[in-house]
Structure 1
Amino acid sequence: MEILIKASQFILSLSLLIVLHELGHFIPAKLFKTRVEKFYLFFDYKFSLIKKKVGETVYGIGWIPLGGYVKISGMIDESMDTEQMKQPAQPWEFRSKPAWQRLIIMLGGVFVNFVLGIFIYIMLMYAYGEKFLPNENVTDGVWVQDSLATDLGIKTGDKVLTIDGEKIKKFSELTIGFVNGNTYQIERNGQILDKEIPENFISKLVDRGKDAGAILLPRYPFVIAEISEDSPNTNADIQPKDIVVAINGNSIKYFDEAQTELDKVKNQEITITVQRGIETKQVVVKVTENGKLGVGLGQLSFKDLEKLGYYQLAEIEYSFAEAIPAGWNKSWKTLTDYVKQLKKIFNPSTGAYKGLGGFISIGSIFPAEWSAQSFWNITAFLSIMLGFMNLLPIPALDGGHVVFTLWEMITGKKPGDKFLEYAQVAGFVLLVALLLFANGNDIFRLFK
């Protein structure tokens, strides 16, 4: 059921983005009186699932869910209809239109993707606002549980101040900051330290697997989740949800402090102080030879941690007027973060190419339960990503057509049809290779 819910959201989001992207080409084409022969969601090689001709255009749904297209008369595109190009140019054909009109038609899909992404982010800011843990509110530093954070040179209690000189606003942005960044600054015991992010950081991050958890966490209190069956303290007066606040009279605030104290008293009987609701109790317990109490560590939500006074969350509500710049800023950050990641992917030494994913990776980012906020957040991200990818100057993408059209407008010389055909084939081969590589990565990770 979980896979079905994720897949349904992915198909819905993808279909919405494809249809609106193609409308971005379709509408200006019709405005400039250019004939559109086909408008398709998904590709229809050999046959269609659904099709219906309305006027001069066939509307349909193909069976290959790798995208969609509009077939515009007199244009060398995915259809590779070279026979049409051998005939004399007709007034309704793409190739007969002025260069500026062809440029607008080609940029229409990208324009819609960017506008859609911005619009969704604006509406999300207006409807839900923002709720997050400000990085500056993690006053006692981070909790390091992962060797990857240690490889970065971070220790428990360090405060991450900036990445590439930019102050981190949200604690949740730390990991993506390390992915995109090159240098960072921390505060350790009152001393400011500048450090470099290892070039192979992304490679190691990918190798951990997507279920490995965050590399950095805010420091948590020692909350007891359960008492293990083989615990030496099954008969001790400790209960789930108890918070350990002192060990042998030494006050502790966080679990990492508790572990330091327990390591000093291995194989000993000690007294711990627990907070149980509004009550505080002292309990005699036995420490194992490994410095454990034989209990599971419980996790609290940020809301619970806020109630206990550990962290102060930020909750921002926006009027519609305020949501416009907030949504724009969110869109811009999404785009710039994506561009930084793309640069890392094209640098083999970072190993970022191993994280490149296909349809399985994209589908997996949707939640296992329906959430309108999550769905639209992901759809906005995908829309901006799709817009940028289509703008890349690769033949077979909108950006490739745009480059050729701009060249014509600047030099006054139109590229020949044969050149455009060969460029289209080369671009298509490149895209298929990237598609196979990305989805191959997905399959490899599944088996791994």
Structure 2
Amino acid sequence: MSHEMIALMMFSTLMVMLMTGQRVFGAIGFIGAASSLFLWGNGGAEMPFNASISLLNWYPLLTLPLFIYMGYMLSESSIANDLYKMLHVWMGSLNGGLAIGTIVLMVAISAMNGLSVAGMAIGSSIALPEMLKRNYDKRMVTGVIQAGSSLGIMVPPSIVLVLYGMIARQPVSRLWLAGVFPGLLFAVMFIIYIVVRCKIQPELGPALSLEERNVSKAEKFKLLGAGILPLAIIFSVTGLFMMGVTSLVESSAVGAVAATLAAWGKGRLTKKVMDNTLHQTLSVSCMFMWIILAALCFGAVFDGLGAVHAIERLFIQEWGLSPWGVLIMMQVSYIVMGMFLDDTAMLVIVAPLYIPLIITLGFNPIWYGVLYTVTCQIAYMTPPFGYNLFLMKAMAPKEVTLVDIYSSIVPFVILMVIGLCLIMAFPQIALYLPDMYFSS
């Protein structure tokens, strides 16, 4: 049997197992281990085992539970709620002001958390009821929350970019810097769309009533304090790291301590908050650990099989695709897989194939990491089976139908596709900041 056929069987079997509802790490790890036994006999079991056990030597992996803890501590202690109250008062006088404030909130949450799911949860619990209560159009509201939460895996400290860096063996510091301008680009595009759309159709995002806007300047400036604390936490994580004061692992530890002290300083470090934070941190951290173990196992078999060279030969020699044609095909495959899988699952399934091929074709793996994250978020929001669509439906009130959610995301998906094309056409959007920082 040819290597191409073996690789195809591995992928097709994996997709069948995932469609039957098997856990991602279980399906990936089982296919990797079973394939090694089938190909090389009893001794083949050592290949995935050795690759998996190497995970224990990855010192940067300590960042994952610490960043996850930081995000959940800030969420459980309602520091994000305080930030939204400030944005509510300062932005509410504009048409669409609360929607703009929600995008700003999502950027801040992304910079404190690094998980898009956290942004979706906070936006749905805080911003969604506030906007619906003030007669915002429900399609505008759900679209804004889904689009805003997509920034979670681009703006540092992105946990997905940390995982990409570990699997692709690329420096996380460069990946974080590469995600800054693309993340801000999308935030600006979303805000411009909201401003223009609400200018044309004010009924989609009415301004707050005069009574609600009647807040003294002293009170307004007092509320600004709610924004200083998140900024201080963001600086403690990314600022100190970029300045070279702390390493990546030290930055995650500083962020976890800063989040705990912030909750304690506000008198919110209760037993319930700590229990919920630790429980969710342990749950999510273990999930990531098992997925990385399975990815290393799967990747080791693919390396031994030579499947990377087989795929390269198929795309370039047999199909005659140009390097850019191969890249576009990869992006399309992410969109298709994103209808069924989350970003981490997609990464661990295709990383053994795509990343070596990207390097062979002469593309920058840091730039490609940004393309991956953007395409994942487009896939999440693409009907009919986008991951975010059903997550939004689960969190939205009953009056928001699935049809509303599907239609709400169309303009934002179009904006993200435009942004993706810009980043592909002008790689320096992603690469300028890391190149400038590390060349100095």
Relative to the length of structure 1, the TM-score reads 0.28
Which structure is higher in strand share?
1
Q: Which has the higher contact order (CA 8 A, sep 6+)?
A: 2
Relative to the length of structure 2, the TM-score reads 0.29
Is the radius of gyration larger for structure 1 or structure 2? 1
